[in-house]
Amino acid sequence: MRTIYILWLRQLKRYTRSRSRIIGSLGQPLLFLFAFGFGFSPIYQRAGGGNYIAFLAPGIIAQGILFTAIFAGIELIWDRQFGFLKETLVAPVSRLEIMIGRTLGGATIATLQGVIIFFLTLLAGFRPANWWLLLPAVAFMFLIATLFTALGTAIASTMSDFQGFQLIMNFLIMPLFFLSGALFPLDGIPPVLAAIASFNPLSYGVDGLRGVLLNATHFGMGRDIAVLSALTVLVLLIGNYLFSKIEI
């Protein structure tokens, strides 16, 4: 437990020291929020969909969490290239603890990013249906963040260069986001897209956030939580296996 706490605290210190990273990671979610939100809002309303900002905001929050969580894996490659990872791996602790510590640290950072984006969506006019459900919403953000931080760490543990990781992540992140229902309702879409969305883990994250913040879900809150929890455990186990194969 001490190792997990130390690694978690180390990740937080890295995050709080880099103001440019905090500001830079907000750029893309804000661009989507204001460009899509205000650009498509009249069309969405004329189509009978209601307030598009309200529909879009949970998806933008999930996007911010996804990007921050996945790219937490870059820090593993950084530590590997500059020798910091070797110092951690030679310590008399299990690699499972190291994996969990790094994952929880990255997930906490991604959750903080999601909370910041939530408050920025308020400036765009978003209002949650139930303010007293904000704490469960943060817990749901953390579940999403844990899943994708573990995924990013698992992928990074098999790689040794930044360029390869960034190419794979860009190839993975954008389809996950665009096919998650973050930008459009999943009701009534073509069967092919519906099938893809049902296999997309981020779909359940976006849907769960909408359920907590807006009382509106497509899959159902129970299914959202069950799928995300099961996938998180599975990815952590796979990540631990891949992490244990890293050579000192």
What is the residue-averaged pLDDT of the chain? 81
> Is the model's pLDDT at 230 over the cut of 90?
yes
pLDDT confidence of residue 12: 61
Which residues have a Cβ under 8 Å from the Cβ of 224 and sit 6 or more positions away?
Answer: 204, 205, 207, 208, 211, 217
Tell me how far apart the alpha carbons of residues 65 and 168 are, in angstroms, rounded to a whole number.
18
Tell me how far apart the alpha carbons of residues 208 and 73 are, in angstroms, rounded to a whole number.
25
For range 18-39, the mean pLDDT: 74
pLDDT confidence of residue 92: 62
Q: Domain residues of the chain, as ranges?
A: 2-244
Measured on CA atoms in the order 82, 105, 26, 142, is the torsion positive or negative? positive
Identify the burial level of 17 via C-beta atoms within 10 angstroms of its C-beta, where 0-12 means exposed, 13-18 middle and 19 or more buried: exposed
> Is the model's pLDDT at 25 over the cut of 60?
yes
pLDDT confidence of residue 31: 84
Tell me how far apart the alpha carbons of residues 99 and 88 are, in angstroms, rounded to a whole number.
11
Which residues have a Cβ under 8 Å from the Cβ of 26 and sit 6 or more positions away?
Answer: 64, 113, 116, 117, 120
pLDDT confidence of residue 147: 93
Residue that the structure tokens 């986001």 belong to: 177
The answer to whether 72 touches 149, Cβ cutoff 8 Å, is: yes
pLDDT band at 117 (very low <50, low <70, confident <90, very high): very high
> Is the model's pLDDT at 177 over the cut of 60?
yes
